[in-house]
Amino acid sequence: MNVDKISELNVCPFCNSDLSENSHRCIKCGAEKVRGHINSRERRKINILRTLLILVLGIYFYYFYPLSGSFLFAASLVVISFILSMFIPHYIFKLKNRQNIIWKRKNIPL
């Protein structure tokens, strides 16, 4: 369960226990403040952006591979591009949402 708005008071939104002023975690229930939270709608945008980047890079390397002389060079460019296309969208949205703070509690099985 997530609570999207942070209360201005120093009270845990899940168990209503008092928290210290600079506390980022509730001692009683384990809830914690998460800074830079990316919601499910934003995660879908990240996945779409990743897919588009991989598609564009795949097309680029398919058409321009014969122009490069070395297979090792082309393979290393493909690997580096794939890794960057996985991380860059995530960090863009993380920076965009850095002011988005929520309280989150992990579900603990009984």
Q: How far apart (Å, rounded) are the C-alpha atoms in residues 30 and 9?
A: 18
C-alpha distances in Å from residue 58, one per residue of 47, 55, 67, 78, 87: 16, 5, 15, 8, 17
Residues 37-89: pLDDT tens digits? 778 888 898 888 888 888 888 787 777 766 656 777 777 777 888 888 888 88
What is the band of 7 on the pLDDT scale with cuts at 50, 70, 90? Answer: very low
pLDDT value at 5 more than 50? no
Query: pTM of this prediction?
Result: 0.57
Mean pLDDT of the chain: 77
85-88: long-range pairs with CB below 8 Å, 24+:
85/50, 85/53, 85/54, 85/57, 86/50, 88/53
Q: Tokens 């591979």 belong to which residue?
A: 65
